[in-house]
Chain A
């Protein structure tokens, strides 16, 4: 028994690798470890304890499982990130040593550090309420992969291994569906690593079967759980919890390959063209290396098909989920360029490519890959620090504005601390772009740069956050019966944009703030529409 357990413990080399990955992640995000800052969904999760059922609304039934188990549902400074980093580092070590079974060389640690610190992680780090679970899912999926791999080797425990593997995969995709990308990507890479494997051979089917069964069980279970949650009105149908039909999946195969290729080239905020091109170059080098190694045309075709499959695997979540073209997120945060979904695929891919290139018999390729490794590592470190800096400044600046608005509210004679108000903040003022120098051809960057920390529809969460009393009850819109003569006067004649004195209205029930010109315009439009409807 002890012998059996020992095989699960980390060797000295693995422990060393884990320690250095963990340390580098801590160093890369030291400003965020030391300064406790949070994203725009985190105000209430930080204030209160997170319930186990907290993620059900969007179908993420296991989202808070590990937060409950490890931190009693609390979001704790430093610890939240440290635990996440520890789990993520372990996932990479297990993937490298146990799943792919790459050999240990002096550059192994450097290679693992480079993969771990790739800036795909920055969007994961933005939200405090999911960071722990998001960084644990790679570990859960790695264990799921190891079990599926075990099922191909061990005949006696095959069914148990497959069932356990699918259960773990379900746990991970139940917390964040896009984590499936890691499962499929790592599996594709594993197939690429098998020498002279023909996709038409029996051996190929033997290898694939456990993974496919685990994936199907997990995916079908997830769909069933979604149905049950929807039927019981526990889940709201959102953009991120609608699975595609089989026909839709087939239709989306080619477009998904296209977006997969595009995602390697499209610069994003904190992911400049240099960084994208470096990663693309590594991938091209890897593909060329793999194709040249194959001895005959059949094997070359095999390899090519697997590479196409790999391109699909990277975007599995995009393939399996429904997207509507007029969706708000399709415009500002398209699934093709979400760093948070790429986080589950690209670091693993980069790690694999480097490991293969480093083991190449050609010294030139090995040396080029080492230089690229150093270049990528340094670029990633700089990007991560820049992200921390912009995140920090943006957060501080928006909080300062928030305090100024609160002070203005409390200084008004019409304000009474005994009232609980409905607060309407029209418009938002994101500050982060002010501290960021965009580079060539950049687009998007929804959570990493453009959205504010203070979203208008959760105003009650942050207006009350630093106040000794709760003065904002809700942010519900004004109804017909709520209009008073002074409110009508405010909308008709006075309303101006912040920081003007007339940007603020305080009545007996409502506090209205016209924060931006767009917000003001929207308020006036709504007011006029209401007046038209009013008899």
Chain B
């Protein structure tokens, strides 16, 4: 095993281990409040109470999504350990990326590189859903391992073995979360840029080295598509791809998005924070362009920079669903640009620029950590506030004269309550569901949540309301008496249905539906 790792240049040296430990401790510190306060997103309730199953992701084509959970924790979502494992995979993936990009090897540079990426608020987006944390961080490690192994193929005798391993490394993440394709191409094109500029390799040599990478990614993507055909998932939004006729328009749109993403502020990523990063990105790219020896190399460098930036929005180009400015997608794309900036700065020959790179990393880590802690505070406040409401609703249900704990009810939640935004007072350009706006008491998991802390099991998991359920009493209640929470009439219990109303708009919509019925 040791020999194999040594042969593949994957055995960490003392410097690597030191850097990994330092960065791992810092990453865990940055998300400590989240790790210690077990919070879960609005898809997690049943998974936390019971466990995840291997087949849980099949309906949306994510056939490998639960393999890591199943192998590592028997499908259980465990407090703290979930984050500890996720961060471990992320740190290892980034360490491998540092090796892949061939950045200067020293404890502090490696530690800064890993910490810089991992503390960016984009990481937070994978903490919202606990059932995704381990796998979605592991995909980064696998994707970069795939790139790393692919690069070795040209000088290795075991081409088939390496190729197969690399294809597997690309295929597994694609089957778990397809937008990982952004990472493949961002990291690859960044590698080409760095090799061209700082390793003085010409395009032909680079093509000879990296042709295997492209081929492996292509084969993995093909296998992914074939698997989707076999498992035949539901027709869900996140599997639909852009049609050929829409492609030119989408390409133009994507170009715009790939530039705008540097300036659009999001929750916990304020305008000054984004502008600071955008400025440093511009400086780093300009400095890299200035290293060009002639016009030809200038355009090659410019081209490589453009391809790298464009790769960050590859999913937006391919998928029909709006994926622009979504942090969990940008985690696999834009977030890598900010460590590329660091790499470009520290790779410059001038010592001053190296220092600028280090200062940039320190400032960014500091700002990102502040944003992370701010977000964790808001999340916890929102989580507690929403669960307090849930507790009050539960109390109302228990005290309701119609309620019988031995009976099974269907549960109908009208609207939901999202309280995280109430605690966040800063302005932002774009709404971000996972970082801020999504509620914990979401409609689709109301039935599971309502009895989560109750000693009784009184919910039937069949929420469909049939015309026959709208009796004159129910109709009268909904039309005349129903009011959203915290009104007394926000909870209504019939013979076998519990209604909980959170939102006036949704109540109005529901009334319209009833009229149609």
Is B79 within 8 A of A388, CB to CB? yes
Taking a contact as CB atoms closer than 8 A, the residue among B36, B74, B455 that contacts A30 in the complex is: B36
Chain A 478-513 against B: per-residue CB contact (8 Å), 1 yes, 0 no? 000000000000000000011111000000000000
Is A386 within 8 A of B36, CB to CB? no
Please indicate the chain B residues that have their CB under 8 angstroms from the CB of A500 in the complex.
Answer: 404-405
A278 to B14, CA, bound (A): 34
Please indicate the chain B residues that have their CB under 8 angstroms from the CB of A393 in the complex.
Answer: 453
- Which of these binds chain B: A181-189, A231-239, A396-404, A526-534? A396-404
Taking a contact as CB atoms closer than 8 A, the residue among B38, B78, B398 that contacts A404 in the complex is: B398
Number of A-B residue pairs, CB cutoff 8 Å, is 63
Taking a contact as CB atoms closer than 8 A, the residue among B36, B51, B80, B454 that contacts A385 in the complex is: B80
Asked if B495 is an interface residue, CB under 8 A from chain A, the answer is: no
Please indicate the chain A residues that have their CB under 8 angstroms from the CB of B79 in the complex.
Answer: 31, 385, 388-389, 392
Is B78 within 8 A of A385, CB to CB? yes
Is A431 within 8 A of B455, CB to CB? yes
A34 to B38, CA, bound (A): 11
Known: A31-B38, A382-B74, A385-B78. A499 touches B391 (CB 8 A): no
A501 to B395, CA, bound (A): 12
A208 to B80, CA, bound (A): 47
A392 to B78, CA, bound (A): 11
Asked if B515 is an interface residue, CB under 8 A from chain A, the answer is: no
Is A401 within 8 A of B455, CB to CB? yes
Asked if A363 is an interface residue, CB under 8 A from chain B, the answer is: no
Asked if A381 is an interface residue, CB under 8 A from chain B, the answer is: yes
Is B391 within 8 A of A400, CB to CB? yes
Shortest Cβ distance from residue B365 to the other chain A in the assembled complex, whole angstroms: 24
Asked if B76 is an interface residue, CB under 8 A from chain A, the answer is: yes
Asked if B200 is an interface residue, CB under 8 A from chain A, the answer is: no
Shortest Cβ distance from residue A24 to the other chain B in the assembled complex, whole angstroms: 12
Shortest Cβ distance from residue A168 to the other chain B in the assembled complex, whole angstroms: 36
Minimal Cβ-Cβ distance residue in A for B452: A397
Interface residues of B in 193-235 (CB under 8 A from A): none
Is B401 within 8 A of A501, CB to CB? yes
Asked if B399 is an interface residue, CB under 8 A from chain A, the answer is: yes
Chain A 364-383 against B: per-residue CB contact (8 Å), 1 yes, 0 no? 00000000000000000110
Taking a contact as CB atoms closer than 8 A, the residue among B36, B51, B455 that contacts A397 in the complex is: B455
Shortest Cβ distance from residue A466 to the other chain B in the assembled complex, whole angstroms: 14
Is A400 within 8 A of B51, CB to CB? no
Asked if B245 is an interface residue, CB under 8 A from chain A, the answer is: no
A522 to B357, CA, bound (A): 75
Is B405 within 8 A of A499, CB to CB? yes
Asked if A437 is an interface residue, CB under 8 A from chain B, the answer is: yes
Asked if B6 is an interface residue, CB under 8 A from chain A, the answer is: no
Is B81 within 8 A of A385, CB to CB? yes
Interface residues of B in 444-488 (CB under 8 A from A): 452-456
Asked if B73 is an interface residue, CB under 8 A from chain A, the answer is: yes
Chain B 77-120 against A: per-residue CB contact (8 Å), 1 yes, 0 no? 01111001000000000000000000000000000000000000
A431 to B401, CA, bound (A): 24
A36 to B49, CA, bound (A): 21
Is A31 within 8 A of B80, CB to CB? yes
A407 to B404, CA, bound (A): 19
Asked if A331 is an interface residue, CB under 8 A from chain B, the answer is: no
Is A499 within 8 A of B399, CB to CB? yes
Known: A388-B79, A404-B395. A382 touches B73 (CB 8 A): yes
Shortest Cβ distance from residue B85 to the other chain A in the assembled complex, whole angstroms: 10
Asked if A227 is an interface residue, CB under 8 A from chain B, the answer is: no
Asked if A157 is an interface residue, CB under 8 A from chain B, the answer is: no
Asked if A429 is an interface residue, CB under 8 A from chain B, the answer is: yes
A476 to B275, CA, bound (A): 70
Chain B 35-53 against A: per-residue CB contact (8 Å), 1 yes, 0 no? 0101000000000011100
Minimal Cβ-Cβ distance residue in A for B453: A397
Asked if B403 is an interface residue, CB under 8 A from chain A, the answer is: yes
Is A389 within 8 A of B36, CB to CB? no
Asked if A203 is an interface residue, CB under 8 A from chain B, the answer is: no
Asked if A435 is an interface residue, CB under 8 A from chain B, the answer is: yes
Is A381 within 8 A of B81, CB to CB? yes
Shortest Cβ distance from residue B369 to the other chain A in the assembled complex, whole angstroms: 20
Asked if A408 is an interface residue, CB under 8 A from chain B, the answer is: yes
A388 to B81, CA, bound (A): 11
Known: A429-B455, A435-B49. A386 touches B78 (CB 8 A): yes
Taking a contact as CB atoms closer than 8 A, the residue among B76, B391, B399, B453 that contacts A408 in the complex is: B399
Is A497 within 8 A of B405, CB to CB? yes
A497 to B455, CA, bound (A): 13
Most A-side CB within 10 Å, residue of B73, B78, B405:
B78
Is B399 within 8 A of A437, CB to CB? no
Interface residues of B in 1-56 (CB under 8 A from A): 36, 38, 49-51
Please indicate the chain A residues that have their CB under 8 angstroms from the CB of B81 in the complex.
Answer: 381-382, 385
Please indicate the chain A residues that have their CB under 8 angstroms from the CB of B51 in the complex.
Answer: 437
Interface residues of A in 244-269 (CB under 8 A from B): none
Known: A396-B453, A397-B453, A429-B455. A30 touches B80 (CB 8 A): yes
Taking a contact as CB atoms closer than 8 A, the residue among B74, B76, B399 that contacts A501 in the complex is: B399
Interface residues of B in 48-66 (CB under 8 A from A): 49-51
Please indicate the chain A residues that have their CB under 8 angstroms from the CB of B74 in the complex.
Answer: 382
A431 to B50, CA, bound (A): 14
Please indicate the chain B residues that have their CB under 8 angstroms from the CB of A30 in the complex.
Answer: 36, 80
A274 to B78, CA, bound (A): 19
Minimal Cβ-Cβ distance residue in A for B80: A30
Shortest Cβ distance from residue B455 to the other chain A in the assembled complex, whole angstroms: 4
Shortest Cβ distance from residue A252 to the other chain B in the assembled complex, whole angstroms: 38
Shortest Cβ distance from residue A65 to the other chain B in the assembled complex, whole angstroms: 32
Shortest Cβ distance from residue B448 to the other chain A in the assembled complex, whole angstroms: 12
Known: A381-B81, A437-B50. A499 touches B403 (CB 8 A): yes
Interface residues of B in 223-256 (CB under 8 A from A): none
Chain B 394-413 against A: per-residue CB contact (8 Å), 1 yes, 0 no? 11001101011100000000
Please indicate the chain A residues that have their CB under 8 angstroms from the CB of B76 in the complex.
Answer: 382, 385-386
Please indicate the chain B residues that have their CB under 8 angstroms from the CB of A401 in the complex.
Answer: 453-455
Please indicate the chain A residues that have their CB under 8 angstroms from the CB of B73 in the complex.
Answer: 382
Minimal Cβ-Cβ distance residue in B for A29: B80
Taking a contact as CB atoms closer than 8 A, the residue among A27, A382, A392, A431 that contacts B38 in the complex is: A392
Chain A 436-476 against B: per-residue CB contact (8 Å), 1 yes, 0 no? 01000000000000000000000000000000000000000
Please indicate the chain A residues that have their CB under 8 angstroms from the CB of B455 in the complex.
Answer: 397, 401, 429, 431, 434
Please indicate the chain A residues that have their CB under 8 angstroms from the CB of B391 in the complex.
Answer: 400
Please indicate the chain A residues that have their CB under 8 angstroms from the CB of B399 in the complex.
Answer: 408, 499, 501
Minimal Cβ-Cβ distance residue in A for B84: A27
Please indicate the chain A residues that have their CB under 8 angstroms from the CB of B453 in the complex.
Answer: 393, 396-397, 400-401, 431
A397 to B453, CA, bound (A): 5
Please indicate the chain B residues that have their CB under 8 angstroms from the CB of A386 in the complex.
Answer: 76, 78
Please indicate the chain A residues that have their CB under 8 angstroms from the CB of B84 in the complex.
Answer: 27
Please indicate the chain B residues that have their CB under 8 angstroms from the CB of A392 in the complex.
Answer: 38, 79
Minimal Cβ-Cβ distance residue in A for B50: A437
Minimal Cβ-Cβ distance residue in B for A452: B455
Shortest Cβ distance from residue B263 to the other chain A in the assembled complex, whole angstroms: 39
Known: A381-B81, A389-B79, A397-B455. A34 touches B395 (CB 8 A): no
A404 to B395, CA, bound (A): 7
A498 to B398, CA, bound (A): 8
Please indicate the chain B residues that have their CB under 8 angstroms from the CB of A499 in the complex.
Answer: 398-399, 403, 405, 456
A31 to B36, CA, bound (A): 7
A30 to B453, CA, bound (A): 22
Please indicate the chain A residues that have their CB under 8 angstroms from the CB of B38 in the complex.
Answer: 31, 389, 392
Minimal Cβ-Cβ distance residue in A for B455: A429
Minimal Cβ-Cβ distance residue in A for B404: A500
A-B contact pairs, 5 of them (CB 8 A): A381-B81, A386-B76, A392-B38, A397-B455, A499-B405
Q: A382-B78, A388-B79, A404-B394 are in contact. List 15 more A-B contacts (CB 8 A).
A: A27-B84, A31-B79, A31-B80, A382-B81, A385-B80, A389-B78, A397-B453, A397-B454, A400-B394, A401-B453, A437-B51, A497-B405, A498-B405, A499-B399, A501-B401
Q: Which 9 A-B pairs have the closest CB atoms?
A: A499-B398, A385-B78, A397-B453, A429-B455, A34-B36, A31-B79, A385-B81, A400-B453, A30-B80
